[in-house]
Protein backbone atom coordinates (compact mmCIF):
# COMPACT_ATOMS: atom_id res chain seq x y z
CA UNK A 1 0.00 0.00 0.00
CA UNK A 2 1.45 3.33 -1.14
CA UNK A 3 0.55 5.52 1.84
CA UNK A 4 2.54 8.46 0.45
CA UNK A 5 0.28 8.55 -2.63
CA UNK A 6 -2.86 8.28 -0.52
CA UNK A 7 -1.69 11.08 1.75
CA UNK A 8 -0.79 13.29 -1.24
CA UNK A 9 -4.24 12.90 -2.83
CA UNK A 10 -5.95 13.32 0.52
CA UNK A 11 -4.03 16.46 1.47
CA UNK A 12 -4.57 17.98 -1.99
CA UNK A 13 -8.34 17.52 -1.72
CA UNK A 14 -8.47 18.80 1.85
CA UNK A 15 -6.39 21.84 0.90
CA UNK A 16 -8.98 22.67 -1.77
CA UNK A 17 -11.60 22.79 0.97
CA UNK A 18 -9.62 25.22 3.14
CA UNK A 19 -9.22 27.50 0.10
CA UNK A 20 -12.99 27.59 -0.44
CA UNK A 21 -14.31 27.70 3.12
CA UNK A 22 -17.28 29.92 2.26
CA UNK A 23 -18.52 27.55 -0.42
CA UNK A 24 -17.50 24.24 1.16
CA UNK A 25 -18.32 24.84 4.82
CA UNK A 26 -20.00 28.15 5.59
CA UNK A 27 -22.67 27.91 2.88
CA UNK A 28 -24.15 24.50 3.85
CA UNK A 29 -23.95 25.33 7.58
CA UNK A 30 -25.80 28.63 7.08
CA UNK A 31 -28.37 27.02 4.77
CA UNK A 32 -29.12 24.26 7.27
CA UNK A 33 -29.25 26.79 10.11
CA UNK A 34 -32.14 28.50 8.32
CA UNK A 35 -34.10 25.24 8.58
CA UNK A 36 -33.42 25.15 12.31
CA UNK A 37 -34.60 28.75 12.67
CA UNK A 38 -37.79 28.32 10.62
CA UNK A 39 -38.82 24.73 11.38
CA UNK A 40 -37.12 24.28 14.73
CA UNK A 41 -37.39 27.51 16.66
CA UNK A 42 -40.37 29.20 14.94
CA UNK A 43 -42.76 26.52 13.65
CA UNK A 44 -41.53 23.70 15.87
CA UNK A 45 -42.54 25.50 19.06
CA UNK A 46 -46.17 25.47 17.84
CA UNK A 47 -46.31 21.85 16.73
CA UNK A 48 -47.12 18.70 18.68
CA UNK A 49 -44.46 16.14 19.53
CA UNK A 50 -43.52 13.45 17.02
CA UNK A 51 -42.88 10.00 18.50
CA UNK A 52 -42.53 11.65 21.89
CA UNK A 53 -39.88 14.11 20.66
CA UNK A 54 -40.34 17.87 20.25
CA UNK A 55 -40.59 18.70 16.55
CA UNK A 56 -37.64 21.08 16.58
CA UNK A 57 -35.42 18.33 17.99
CA UNK A 58 -37.04 15.64 15.81
CA UNK A 59 -35.86 17.23 12.54
CA UNK A 60 -32.23 17.68 13.66
CA UNK A 61 -31.02 14.19 12.58
CA UNK A 62 -32.90 14.43 9.28
CA UNK A 63 -31.41 17.82 8.41
CA UNK A 64 -27.89 16.67 9.32
CA UNK A 65 -28.29 13.54 7.22
CA UNK A 66 -29.73 15.49 4.27
CA UNK A 67 -26.78 17.89 4.26
CA UNK A 68 -24.31 15.04 4.80
CA UNK A 69 -25.58 13.08 1.78
CA UNK A 70 -25.68 16.00 -0.63
CA UNK A 71 -22.27 17.33 0.42
CA UNK A 72 -20.66 13.88 0.29
CA UNK A 73 -21.85 13.39 -3.29
CA UNK A 74 -20.84 16.92 -4.29
CA UNK A 75 -17.38 16.78 -2.71
CA UNK A 76 -16.46 13.41 -4.20
CA UNK A 77 -17.94 14.04 -7.65
CA UNK A 78 -16.19 17.39 -8.13
CA UNK A 79 -12.99 15.98 -6.63
CA UNK A 80 -12.60 13.33 -9.34
CA UNK A 81 -14.31 15.27 -12.14
CA UNK A 82 -11.89 18.20 -12.06
CA UNK A 83 -8.83 16.01 -12.89
CA UNK A 84 -10.87 14.57 -15.78
CA UNK A 85 -11.83 18.05 -16.94
CA UNK A 86 -8.26 19.38 -16.76
CA UNK A 87 -6.66 16.20 -18.12
CA UNK A 88 -4.51 15.55 -15.05
CA UNK A 89 -6.38 12.29 -14.45
CA UNK A 90 -4.02 10.63 -16.94
CA UNK A 91 -1.02 11.57 -14.81
CA UNK A 92 -2.69 9.90 -11.83
CA UNK A 93 -3.61 6.78 -13.82
CA UNK A 94 -0.06 6.46 -15.21
CA UNK A 95 1.57 6.92 -11.80
CA UNK A 96 2.52 3.88 -9.67
CA UNK A 97 -0.77 4.15 -7.75
CA UNK A 98 -3.36 1.41 -7.53
CA UNK A 99 -7.09 1.93 -7.95
CA UNK A 100 -7.59 1.26 -4.24
CA UNK A 101 -5.13 4.02 -3.32
CA UNK A 102 -6.82 6.50 -5.68
CA UNK A 103 -10.21 5.76 -4.20
CA UNK A 104 -8.90 5.96 -0.63
CA UNK A 105 -7.35 9.36 -1.32
CA UNK A 106 -10.33 11.00 -3.04
CA UNK A 107 -13.17 9.29 -1.16
CA UNK A 108 -11.37 9.58 2.17
CA UNK A 109 -11.03 13.34 1.73
CA UNK A 110 -14.66 13.75 0.61
CA UNK A 111 -15.94 11.68 3.54
CA UNK A 112 -13.71 13.57 6.01
CA UNK A 113 -15.06 16.91 4.81
CA UNK A 114 -18.64 15.66 5.08
CA UNK A 115 -18.17 14.28 8.60
CA UNK A 116 -16.60 17.57 9.74
CA UNK A 117 -19.51 19.44 8.17
CA UNK A 118 -22.03 17.14 9.85
CA UNK A 119 -20.45 17.74 13.26
CA UNK A 120 -20.43 21.50 12.66
CA UNK A 121 -24.13 21.42 11.78
CA UNK A 122 -24.76 19.32 14.90
CA UNK A 123 -23.03 21.95 17.03
CA UNK A 124 -24.91 24.75 15.26
CA UNK A 125 -28.25 23.02 15.87
CA UNK A 126 -27.62 23.24 19.61
CA UNK A 127 -27.84 27.04 19.33
CA UNK A 128 -31.46 26.83 18.14
CA UNK A 129 -33.01 23.68 19.62
CA UNK A 130 -32.36 21.39 22.58
CA UNK A 131 -31.79 17.72 21.85
CA UNK A 132 -30.05 14.68 23.25
CA UNK A 133 -27.95 11.86 21.81
CA UNK A 134 -28.87 8.56 23.43
CA UNK A 135 -26.37 6.46 21.48
CA UNK A 136 -23.39 8.72 20.58
CA UNK A 137 -21.22 5.84 19.30
CA UNK A 138 -23.93 4.66 16.93
CA UNK A 139 -24.47 8.25 15.87
CA UNK A 140 -20.84 8.45 14.75
CA UNK A 141 -21.10 5.03 13.08
CA UNK A 142 -24.11 6.08 10.99
CA UNK A 143 -22.48 9.43 10.27
CA UNK A 144 -19.27 7.86 8.95
CA UNK A 145 -21.01 5.02 7.09
CA UNK A 146 -23.32 7.43 5.28
CA UNK A 147 -20.49 9.84 4.47
CA UNK A 148 -18.32 7.08 3.00
CA UNK A 149 -21.19 5.44 1.08
CA UNK A 150 -22.35 8.68 -0.55
CA UNK A 151 -18.78 9.79 -1.19
CA UNK A 152 -18.31 6.54 -3.13
CA UNK A 153 -21.53 7.31 -4.99
CA UNK A 154 -20.24 10.80 -5.74
CA UNK A 155 -16.96 9.33 -7.00
CA UNK A 156 -18.95 7.19 -9.45
CA UNK A 157 -20.99 10.20 -10.58
CA UNK A 158 -17.82 12.24 -11.13
CA UNK A 159 -16.39 9.55 -13.38
CA UNK A 160 -19.68 9.07 -15.25
CA UNK A 161 -20.28 12.79 -15.82
CA UNK A 162 -18.98 14.38 -19.01
CA UNK A 163 -20.06 17.91 -18.10
CA UNK A 164 -20.68 20.10 -15.06
CA UNK A 165 -24.43 19.77 -15.59
CA UNK A 166 -24.30 16.02 -15.02
CA UNK A 167 -22.17 16.47 -11.91
CA UNK A 168 -24.88 18.67 -10.40
CA UNK A 169 -28.00 16.95 -11.70
CA UNK A 170 -27.92 13.86 -9.47
CA UNK A 171 -27.63 15.72 -6.13
CA UNK A 172 -30.28 18.24 -7.22
CA UNK A 173 -32.82 15.93 -8.86
CA UNK A 174 -32.23 12.65 -7.00
CA UNK A 175 -30.49 12.98 -3.62
CA UNK A 176 -32.31 16.09 -2.37
CA UNK A 177 -35.84 14.88 -3.29
CA UNK A 178 -35.15 11.46 -1.77
CA UNK A 179 -33.96 13.20 1.41
CA UNK A 180 -37.11 15.30 1.66
CA UNK A 181 -39.26 12.21 1.05
CA UNK A 182 -37.15 10.06 3.35
CA UNK A 183 -38.50 11.32 6.65
CA UNK A 184 -36.28 14.33 7.26
CA UNK A 185 -39.26 16.39 8.46
CA UNK A 186 -41.76 13.72 9.48
CA UNK A 187 -42.22 10.19 10.78
CA UNK A 188 -43.47 7.47 8.44
CA UNK A 189 -46.27 6.80 10.92
CA UNK A 190 -47.75 10.18 9.92
CA UNK A 191 -48.30 8.97 6.34
CA UNK A 192 -51.34 7.05 5.05
CA UNK A 193 -50.81 3.25 5.03
CA UNK A 194 -50.26 3.10 1.26
CA UNK A 195 -47.58 5.80 1.30
CA UNK A 196 -45.88 4.17 4.27
CA UNK A 197 -45.31 1.11 2.10
CA UNK A 198 -44.19 3.20 -0.86
CA UNK A 199 -41.71 5.10 1.34
CA UNK A 200 -39.98 1.85 2.27
CA UNK A 201 -38.62 1.67 -1.30
CA UNK A 202 -36.65 4.85 -0.60
CA UNK A 203 -33.20 3.82 0.72
CA UNK A 204 -32.73 7.20 2.38
CA UNK A 205 -35.58 6.33 4.79
CA UNK A 206 -33.44 3.65 6.42
CA UNK A 207 -30.41 5.91 6.81
CA UNK A 208 -32.37 8.78 8.36
CA UNK A 209 -34.35 6.40 10.58
CA UNK A 210 -31.20 4.73 11.93
CA UNK A 211 -29.50 8.06 12.50
CA UNK A 212 -32.56 9.41 14.33
CA UNK A 213 -32.63 6.28 16.50
CA UNK A 214 -29.10 7.06 17.66
CA UNK A 215 -30.41 10.40 18.96
CA UNK A 216 -33.73 9.53 20.59
CA UNK A 217 -34.07 5.74 20.57
CA UNK A 218 -37.05 5.88 18.17
CA UNK A 219 -37.09 4.75 14.55
CA UNK A 220 -39.51 4.01 11.71
CA UNK A 221 -37.74 0.79 10.70
CA UNK A 222 -35.48 -1.75 12.34
CA UNK A 223 -32.09 -0.37 13.34
CA UNK A 224 -30.41 -3.54 12.04
CA UNK A 225 -32.15 -2.96 8.69
CA UNK A 226 -30.91 0.64 8.66
CA UNK A 227 -27.31 -0.47 9.27
CA UNK A 228 -27.70 -3.19 6.66
CA UNK A 229 -28.94 -0.68 4.09
CA UNK A 230 -25.93 1.57 4.73
CA UNK A 231 -23.54 -1.37 4.38
CA UNK A 232 -25.40 -2.61 1.29
CA UNK A 233 -25.10 0.78 -0.40
CA UNK A 234 -21.42 0.82 0.52
CA UNK A 235 -20.90 -2.63 -1.04
CA UNK A 236 -22.78 -1.75 -4.25
CA UNK A 237 -20.74 1.42 -4.76
CA UNK A 238 -17.46 -0.42 -4.12
CA UNK A 239 -18.45 -3.07 -6.67
CA UNK A 240 -19.31 -0.39 -9.23
CA UNK A 241 -15.96 1.36 -8.70
CA UNK A 242 -14.12 -1.96 -9.04
CA UNK A 243 -15.85 -2.48 -12.40
CA UNK A 244 -15.02 1.09 -13.53
CA UNK A 245 -11.29 0.63 -12.92
CA UNK A 246 -11.31 -2.88 -14.36
CA UNK A 247 -12.91 -1.76 -17.63
CA UNK A 248 -11.53 1.80 -17.74
CA UNK A 249 -15.06 3.19 -18.16
CA UNK A 250 -14.90 6.94 -18.78
CA UNK A 251 -11.29 6.97 -17.56
CA UNK A 252 -9.18 5.93 -20.53
CA UNK A 253 -11.38 7.23 -23.33
In tens digits, the chain (253 residues) has pLDDT values of 888 889 999 999 898 877 777 777 788 888 888 887 777 666 666 777 888 888 888 999 999 999 999 999 999 999 899 888 888 888 888 888 899 999 999 999 999 999 999 999 999 988 888 888 999 999 999 999 999 999 999 999 999 988 888 888 887 888 888 888 888 888 898 889 998 999 999 999 999 999 999 999 999 999 999 999 999 999 999 999 999 999 888 887 5
Could you tell me the pTM of the whole model?
A: 0.92
Q: Which domain holds residue 107?
A: 3-247
CB neighbours of residue 12 within 10 Å: 14
Q: Does some domain include residue 29?
A: yes
Q: Tell me if 59 is assigned to some domain.
A: yes
Report d(CA 51, CA 106) in Å as an integer: 39
Identify whether 253 is part of a domain.
no
Burial grade of 160 (CB within 10 A; 0-12, 13-18, 19 or more):
middle
Instruction: Supply the DSSP symbol for 26.
Output: I
Among residues 100, 76, 82, the alpha carbon closest in space to that of 5 is found at 100
- 93 burial (CB, 10 Å; 0-12 / 13-18 / 19+) is middle
**DSSP reduced 3-state for 52:** coil
In a domain? residue 218: yes
* In-domain check, residue 154: yes
The pLDDT tens digits of the residues spanning 68-113 come to 999 999 999 998 998 888 888 888 888 888 999 999 999 999 999 9
As separate numbers, helices (DSSP H) first and strands (DSSP E) second, the chain gives: 12, 0
Specify the pLDDT at position 158.
Answer: 92
For the chain, the domain total comes to 1
To the nearest 10 degrees (0 to 180), the angle between helices 136-160 and 203-216 is 160
**Does 106 fall in a domain?**
yes
Buried residues in 213-240 as b, exposed as e (16+ CB within 10 A): bbbbebbbbebeebbebbeebbeebeeb
Q: Is residue 135 part of a domain?
A: yes
Domain membership of residue 252 (yes or no) is no
Tell which residue, 225, 220, 226, 204, has the closest CA to residue 58: 220
Beta bridge partners of 53: 50
pLDDT at 173: 84
Amino acid sequence: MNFYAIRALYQFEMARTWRTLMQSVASPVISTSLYFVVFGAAIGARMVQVDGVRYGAFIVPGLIMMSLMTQSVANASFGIYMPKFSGTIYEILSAPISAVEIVLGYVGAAASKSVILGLLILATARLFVEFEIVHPVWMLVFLVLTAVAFSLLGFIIGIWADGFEKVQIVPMLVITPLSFLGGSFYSLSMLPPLWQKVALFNPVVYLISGFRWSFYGVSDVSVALSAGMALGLLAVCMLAIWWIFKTGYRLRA
